[in-house]
Amino acid sequence: MKPALTAPTPTDTACITLDLEDNWDFESPDLRYLVFDHLDEYVALLDRLDVPLTVFVVGQVLEDRPEAVRRLDDELDAEFHLHSYQHDMHNEVSLEAEVRKGTRAFEEVLGRDPDGYRAPRFIVNDGDLSTLSDAGFAFDSSICPSYRPGVYNNLDLPTRPYYPAEAPGLLELPVSVHPRLKIPFEQSYLRLFGEPYLRLLERSALPDLLVFNSHLHDYFHTAAHDNLGRIRQFAFKRNIDRSPETFERFVGLLRERGYRFRKLGDVSDEIRTPDSAARAESAPVE
Ligand SMILES: [Zn+2]
């Protein structure tokens, strides 16, 4: 594989991202969008913590729940990017069609094109990044340099921002992982591992740029959780009633370390300015 080119990495910077999508991939119409009933609590949580939010929104959510998107836009310091059109779980649909339909829905509600993209389940196929670059995206945040059996294995990919060899015009802002354990910085893992993991994070080195991912269903219990299979129920429901508090503690931990909270699009704009690009080293990423 051709080496990627490094991009400058801001330090002590954290970006809280939310993938705004329906709960899960189930059939029952009664369960659709149940987690959106918790939007009040979510807005109150982010407002209280006073952190800006980067939202990757699914095209179908923009069509089905435009009022929820507008509400986050109006009431929070939030920016929006695209998270596919139909959130296909099986990696079977064409990215070109997802981008075309997703962008149309995005424009309809938000009145502009999305700058950034995140793929469902962090699955990126060969050629996808050049498709995104050709479609005019400035950045992608779909690569998680970790290992999820049967889904992705990106342990050999950079953990810092980079310009991918196949699409040098596109900035990749990877989802961050614990430097030693390679556990992704996601609300689902904070919730699942709970208090002992928070205590470990208090003693851990953390990434210079920390891109954190979350979903509404990581924070709030709904009847949709109870409809999952037994193993997934265990994983998705464990500690969920304490999940907002766990997030609050994590934000506090980052503040104590001197992190500044910013939106991912702003970080992308800063990294991609010509001045800053000129400073980037054209050495392979380690
Ligand atoms: Zn998703």
d(CA 121, ligand 1 centre) in Å = 6
d(CA 34, ligand 1 centre) in Å = 16
d(CA 6, ligand 1 centre) in Å = 27
Which residues of the chain are modeled with pLDDT < 70? 1-3, 25-27, 274-286
What's the start-to-end Cα distance of the chain, in Å?
Answer: 14
Q: Work out how many domains the chain is built from and give that number.
A: 1
Domain annotation covers residue 277: no
Task: Check which CATH number belongs to the domain holding 263 and give it.
Answer: 3.20.20.370
Which residues constitute the domain of residue 35?
8-270
Asked if residue 157 lies in contact with residue 125, where contact means CB atoms within 8 angstroms, the answer is: no
* 103/213 Cα distance (integer angstroms): 22
Asked if residue 216 lies in contact with residue 188, where contact means CB atoms within 8 angstroms, the answer is: no
Domain annotation covers residue 43: yes
Asked if residue 136 lies in contact with residue 115, where contact means CB atoms within 8 angstroms, the answer is: no
* 113/110 Cα distance (integer angstroms): 8
The pLDDT value recorded for residue 29 is: 85
Give me the amino acid identity at 10: P
d(CA 61, ligand 1 centre) in Å = 11
d(CA 142, ligand 1 centre) in Å = 10
The pLDDT value recorded for residue 279 is: 47
d(CA 177, ligand 1 centre) in Å = 17
Closest by Cα among 103, 41, 114, 107 to 71: 41
Closest by Cα among 54, 38, 32, 15 to 240: 38
**Cα 244 → chain centroid:** 17
Name residues with Cβ closer than 5 Å to ligand 1, which is an ion. 19, 21, 120
Domain annotation covers residue 248: yes
Domain annotation covers residue 280: no
d(CA 25, ligand 1 centre) in Å = 10
Residue 214 exposed, middle or buried by CB count within 10 Å (0-12, 13-18, 19+): buried
d(CA 276, ligand 1 centre) in Å = 31
Q: Estimate the crossing angle of helix 39-49 against helix 243-256, to 10 degrees.
A: 20
Angle at 151 between CA 157 and CA 205, to 5 degrees: 45
The pLDDT value recorded for residue 135 is: 98
Pairing between strand 147-148 and 116-117?
unpaired
d(CA 21, ligand 1 centre) in Å = 6
For 124, phi then psi, to 5°, come to -120, 120
Which uninterrupted H or E stretch holds 172?
strand 171-172
Domain annotation covers residue 219: yes
Domain annotation covers residue 173: yes
d(CA 271, ligand 1 centre) in Å = 25
d(CA 195, ligand 1 centre) in Å = 25
Does the global pTM surpass 0.75? yes
Asked if residue 98 lies in contact with residue 118, where contact means CB atoms within 8 angstroms, the answer is: no
The pLDDT value recorded for residue 2 is: 54
